[in-house]
């Protein structure tokens, strides 16, 4: 019984550490630079149906999906009812982490 409990506590610890790391994985401050250079072209004005950064009403339903979903759609690309998001904002040179940072910045500005 004690081995079972030890294994369960170890698994719980590992799971809790990985979920904490996932939440802290993106840096909104670093994302501002990526946003300014790559994302602002569409997200400042709403080109191609892009949700305008800072528009809380437009972002609310997106924020409810969670950061991981928004980052995934931004990396892979997404076509929705109102527009489309090209993979990595159309810049294939961006790393997944850079895209995640930019998404974190937009989320921070749009809450």
Residue 18 has pLDDT above 90, yes or no: no
CATH hierarchy code of domain 26-110: 1.10.760.10
Residue 33 has pLDDT above 90, yes or no: yes
| Domain boundaries defined on the chain | 26-110
The pLDDT assigned to 9 comes to 47
Secondary structure (DSSP) of the chain: -HHHHHHHHHHHHHHHHHHHHHHTS--HHHHHHHIIIIIHHHHTTTGGGPPPTT-HHHHHHHHTT-HHHHHHHHHH-EE-SS-EE-GGGG-TTS-HHHHHHHHHHHHHHH-
Structure tokens at 60: 């609310």
Question: How much of the chain, in percent, has pLDDT values that exceed 70?
Answer: 78
Please write the tens of the pLDDT for every residue from 79-108. Answer: 998 889 999 999 999 999 999 999 999 999
């Amino acid at each position: 019984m004690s081995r079972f409990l030890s294994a369960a506590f170890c698994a719980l610890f590992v799971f809790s550490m990985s979920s904490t790391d996932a939440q802290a994985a993106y840096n909104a401050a670093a994302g501002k630079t990526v946003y300014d250079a790559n994302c602002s072209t569409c997200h400042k004005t709403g080109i191609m149906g892009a949700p305008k950064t800072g528009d809380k009403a437009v972002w609310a339903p997106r924020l409810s999906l969670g950061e991981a979903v928004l980052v995934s759609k931004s990396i892979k690309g997404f076509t929705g009812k109102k527009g489309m998001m090209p993979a990595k904002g159309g810049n294939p040179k961006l790393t997944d982490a850079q895209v995640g940072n930019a998404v974190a910045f937009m989320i921070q500005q749009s809450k």
